[in-house]
């Protein structure tokens, strides 16, 4: 397999009894994809100490420290135990810290599998929002079990067992709430790995965190970045597309000219070009929504526009109306 650190890759490979590992290309660099038949999530090694997990919610970044590991985000409700088990196998270290990039359920649904014995952190604005979702997240394990039950994947039985343990864990609605609220700018060293955490104001929500691992040249941009996927605009959750544009600019500044590896909230791993594309899309959509409102176009007609320039963007059926509706409502509000 080709990877930047053969030792780490070999350890990962041996961690799965039925696993195979192949090299893949994402963006302009070769990355090691840990394609193990025994895992539920799709794991990709990004650097010697960093892995990404895709599937069942937002993208997760796992960072292996010297003797413990850190997980960024926790996927949909019901999948926390599976995430933790597979992350520990992939990186070979126990997870002792979870950091949420923001409060949305597809990023905090698995928190309940970490809050008992890990440090669980999120931006301070996220805490009351996550606490307010506890009741809803408690029902998530049932839906997760129904979804997994229909699968043909070899990992199915292990995942159903994980979900059963979530269901029988005696959780309460506060089991998802992080144990620590973070400020707008934090520098942490966990397991010997330095992390930089930044909240740059309202963007996708009012509690987005960007997490940078300078030693690995890796960043998790949370849902400030949707890679070739329609971005969710959530006005009640604090979305502000002008602030979101600034957030993308901050990400570009942090990258400099470096080829930083960036994990987006959704879609494939990317680099500064992905952040540039997200910025340009938001600027264009804002301008179009503002012009439509000014011209008296109805919300319904605006939502029917084809936007052919984004025809290759994923999840258009579900997300495109939310993106366009959000940007239109925001322009209406601003125009009043
Ligand atoms: Zn989100």
Q: What is the pLDDT of residues 74-87, one digit of tens each?
A: 999 999 999 999 99
> What pLDDT does residue 39 have?
95
Q: How confident is the model at residue 259 (pLDDT cuts 50, 70, 90)?
A: confident
Question: Nearest 10 degrees: CA dihedral of 237, 118, 146, 314?
Answer: 50
> What pTM was estimated for this model as a whole?
0.90
Q: What is the DSSP string of 82-112?
A: HHHHHHHHHHSS-EEEEE-SSS-HHHHTTGG
Q: Please report, for the chain, the start and end positions of each structural domain, with discontinuous segments joined by +.
A: 6-335
Average model confidence (pLDDT) across the chain: 90
Distance 239 CA to ligand 1 centre (A): 10
Task: Give the distance (Å) from ligand 1 centre to CA of residue 319.
Answer: 12
Alpha-carbon torsion angle 147, 151, 269, 197, nearest 10? 40
Say how many Å lie between the CA of residue 104 and the centre of ligand 1.
5
pLDDT band at 36 (very low <50, low <70, confident <90, very high): low
Work out the average pLDDT over 135-143: 93
What band does 131 get if pLDDT is binned at 50, 70 and 90? very high
102 Cα: distance to centroid of ligand 1 (angstroms): 7
Q: Is the pLDDT of residue 1 over 60?
A: no
Looking at the domain that runs over 6-335, which CATH code has it been given? 3.60.15.10
**In a 3-state reduction of DSSP, which class is residue 216?**
helix
Q: Could you tell me the distance, in angstroms and rounded to a whole number, from the CA of residue 105 to the centre of ligand 1?
A: 8
Tell me the CA distances in angstroms from 270 to 104, 117, 275, one per residue in order: 22, 32, 8
The mean pLDDT of 94-99, rounded to a whole number, is: 98
Q: Tell me, what's the pLDDT at 28?
A: 37
Q: Which residues surround ligand 1, an ion (CB under 5 A)?
A: 104, 223
Q: State pLDDT tens for residues 166-199.
A: 999 999 989 999 999 999 999 999 999 999 999 9
């Amino acid at each position: 397999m080709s990877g930047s650190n053969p030792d780490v890759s070999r350890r990962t490979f041996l961690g799965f009894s039925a696993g195979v590992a192949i090299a893949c290309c994402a963006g302009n660099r070769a990355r090691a994809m840990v394609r193990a038949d025994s895992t539920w999530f799709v794991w990709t090694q990004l650097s010697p100490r960093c892995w990404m997990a895709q599937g069942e919610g937002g993208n997760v970044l796992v960072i292996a420290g010297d003797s413990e590991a850190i997980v960024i985000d926790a996927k949909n409700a019901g999948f926390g135990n599976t995430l933790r088990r597979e992350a520990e196998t992939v990186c070979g270290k126990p997870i002792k810290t979870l950091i949420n990039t923001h409060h949305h359920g597809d990023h905090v649904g698995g928190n309940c599998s970490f809050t008992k014995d890990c440090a669980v952190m999120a931006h301070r604005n996220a805490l009351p929002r996550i606490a307010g979702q506890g009741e809803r997240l408690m029902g998530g394990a049932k839906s997760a079990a129904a979804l997994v039950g229909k699968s043909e994947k070899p990992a199915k039985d292990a995942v159903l067992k994980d979900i059963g343990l979530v269901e029988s864990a005696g959780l309460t609605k506060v089991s998802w709430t992080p144990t620590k609220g973070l400020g707008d700018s934090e520098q942490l060293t966990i397991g010997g790995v330095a992390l930089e955490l930044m909240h740059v104001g309202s963007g996708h929500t009012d509690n987005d965190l960007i997490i940078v691992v300078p030693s690995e040249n890796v960043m998790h941009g949370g849902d400030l970045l949707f890679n070739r996927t329609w971005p969710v605009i959530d006005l009640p959750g604090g979305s502000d597309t002008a602030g979101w544009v600034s957030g993308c600019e901050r990400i570009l500044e942090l990258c400099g000219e470096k080829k930083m590896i960036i994990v987006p909230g959704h879609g494939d791993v990317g680099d500064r070009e992905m952040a540039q594309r997200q910025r340009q899309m938001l600027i264009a959509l804002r301008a179009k929504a503002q012009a439509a409102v000014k011209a008296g176009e109805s919300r319904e007609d605006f939502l029917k526009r084809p936007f052919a320039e984004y025809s290759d963007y994923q999840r258009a059926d579900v997300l495109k109306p939310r993106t366009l509706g959000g940007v239109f409502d925001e322009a209406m509000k601003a125009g009043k």
